[in-house]
Structure 1
């Protein structure tokens, strides 16, 4: 839906004219899809047909919750960006009030759900399909997901007081009420809630209000 509205995928702007870089990107995408899909691939290829188990139901529920969260978060952000009055602002509505990246939480949760649902079929070396959800989780936490978006948002809004407060009080991944998350000790956030130090750059002077930042952004765009 986003691409249909924009007319192109802006993530390709820097590589679209370079066939080599574009090929590398698509090959990496293929490896990504193959790795993450391992639980489904093995289950579909298996001759085992166990009866319905608790792991099946738990996995399906996890998948459904993940899909709903990811879809809802994406639609909320799309609607936010499409509103002219939100130009130059960061998304902090709906699920984005309780997580800085709820769409990634949904993505990770649904793939772990698929793995859980696959466990009644797995035997021996087939358990290595756990590398699928592990790969996705590590990728979004440390490589191409949260780190890139946090860096981009810090660059745009790092001097905005409301943004600094939003970042301090809002969980990076797992949806939690800000009243709870904002009062948790930093060691707990770092070790259990994925608030890694490299997600944040130093904020030298968070003095501008959100309105002032939006006006400045609008004037420079």
Structure 2
């Protein structure tokens, strides 16, 4: 198909992303405000989606639907406002860029479209529920100083990240009908996001913060031992699994517990 390379969409989206993030970097540096980080990262997704769709102007249903998904989901901020933000936005947007670069939107709808859209909706609902439940929990005075363990947080210590990962993999699956040959390398988009949240700036940072705050609490250690770090599971199931199974299949990585007291390490 060669749509991305022929239309120079990769170069264009990269330039737009770098310029856009640099503008907000300057704003942050001049006015000493970090609140624009989330806004810059989220809106950058929408700008790239709109730009590539308008330039191609084919307006296939697959393209418009994926644009709607990008506008609704918009992504999770890294919390590190630097060149990483530009790399993150551009890389994760790759599947959407390919869809919009396709001259006919990839032709008729395929089963992969339905599967991908279903994954996106499921991921979006989980993330939205997690964010709303955590906000309500934190806004209650009686919960001050406690960790959130209500709603979907009963089944995952980071359900919002699970939802975010799932919805971007859904976009990749929905984009797969337009991919040919080297274009399958856009799988690096959702893969990059997944690895980032699991190993770098997502779960590890939040686990370390929570362990330092609550690590001496027996109730917290019980919560951590019986609650999956990412993939939602009933506590009765997860809590009774052997440690090797949690580590290999459910991402209970040893460094998630390095800030717990030694005798309290999750097994």
- Is 2:196 the partner of 1:139? yes
Equivalent residue for 1:165, pick from 179, 204, 222: 222
CA distance in 2, matches of 1:143, 1:55: 30
- Is 2:124 the partner of 1:124? no
CA distance in 2, matches of 1:204, 1:187: 18
Counterparts of 1:66-145 in structure 2, within 5 Å, are 66-145=123-202
**Structure 2 length as normaliser, TM-score?**
0.67
CA contact (8 A) 1:159 1:204 kept: no
Q: Equivalent residue for 2:20? A: none
The one-character-per-residue Cα deviations of 1:79-117 (angstroms, maximum 9, x if unpaired) are 100000000000000000000000000000000000000
Q: Equivalent residue for 2:237? A: 180
CA distance in 1, matches of 2:249, 2:107: 35
Q: CA RMSD in A?
A: 1.8
Q: Equivalent residue for 1:37? A: 93
Shift >3 Å, 4+ stretches: 8-12
Change (3 A) 1:161 1:11: farther
CA contact (8 A) 1:74 1:103 kept: yes
Unaligned 5+ runs, structure 1: 1-7, 13-23, 207-221
**Structure 1 length as normaliser, TM-score?**
0.81
Change (3 A) 1:10 1:41: closer
Unaligned 5+ runs, structure 2: 1-32, 38-79
CA shift at 1:50, angstroms? 2.1
Equivalent residue for 2:208, pick from 128, 151, 170: 151
